[in-house]
Amino acid sequence: MKYTLHNHTYLCKHASGSVTDMVNEAIKQKFDVIGISDHVPYKDAETMYRMEFSERNAYLEEANYLKNIYKNSSIKLYIGYEAEYQKRHLNYLISLFKEHKIDYLVLGHHYQDVSNLYTYYGRSTTIEQLRCYVNDCIEAMKTKLFWFIAHPDIVLMSFDKFTKEMELECRKLISASIDYNVYLEYNGGGVRNGYYNNLSQKDYLYPKLEFWKLVKEMKGKVLVNADAHSPYQINDEAYKLALKQAKKLGLNLVEPDYYSYIDRLKLEYDI
């Protein structure tokens, strides 16, 4: 199965192309499954890197129109959001399924508090920050709302060494993903951003090799997504390289099973 489930449109303010543009490119590139997962808008949060709250209906209407057009074609379209998790937004996230009829949520946990952009988890890695991130992600997985975790190693972006304490926290996250059957994403966007020099070591900001070695050891379930921010990135060299790297690392690559995900949502929330 050729898929990418983590992709963005111009509505998020840091990408280009519409839902239609992304789907058309996926068809051109012979994908079996395309997922559009723009950053979810929150009524009480900054909108610098996400769509406006008032744009939700237009986003979903365009996607549902395309679903109808291509319902008998060779491509499957899913529409959802990439979302942070804070407990106060739980009912809102549930309502996206019940009232807005989205297909899925991606846990892209960028901020400890979406009302405060200075709580960005990738800014500086302390053990306290890492613990908060891991605890937040585990609480999110317990809700059963999220299909997979986008760039689960984003919190390690700025580290200069991988300590034993950090390893223990990463193991907790990976173990929970296995327990709750939530996929971990090897992110093509991080590969697309390229290497940088961390002290004397040439490395990605993410994906972080230390994290993915643990995923391999623990046999976590892994998806590879493009994290495309324009149509041409859906099947670009970064996405292809991410797939190649994940295979070379010997990760437990799986095909996304939408039906088992939606079944557990139905059981939990009668969606």
Domain boundaries, the chain: 3-269
Indicate the Cα dihedral angle 152, 157, 163, 166, nearest 10°: -30
Task: For residue range 66-101, list pLDDT tens digits in order.
Answer: 999 999 899 999 999 999 999 999 999 999 999 999
pLDDT confidence of residue 66 = 97
Strands (E) across 66-103 are located at 76-83
**Domain 3-269 - what CATH class?**
alpha beta
pLDDT at 205: 83
Using the predicted structure, report yes or no on whether residue 239 has a pLDDT greater than 70.
Answer: yes
Q: Give pLDDT, residue 126.
A: 86
Q: pLDDT digits over 142-190, tens only?
A: 999 999 999 999 999 888 789 999 999 999 999 999 999 999 999 999 9
Comparing CA positions, the residue from 49, 115, 53, 106 lying closest to residue 80 is 106
pLDDT over 80 (residue 233): yes
User: What pLDDT band is residue 195 in, cutting at 50, 70 and 90?
Assistant: low
So what's the pLDDT on residue 6?
98
**Residue 97 φ then ψ, to 5°:** -80, -45
Tokens, residue 88: 């106060």
Assigned token pair, 161: 């060494």
Average the pLDDT over 123-141 and give the result: 92
Residue 200 pLDDT > 50 = no
pLDDT value at 119 more than 80: yes
The predicted-structure confidence for 13-30, as pLDDT tens digits, reads as follows 999 999 999 999 999 999
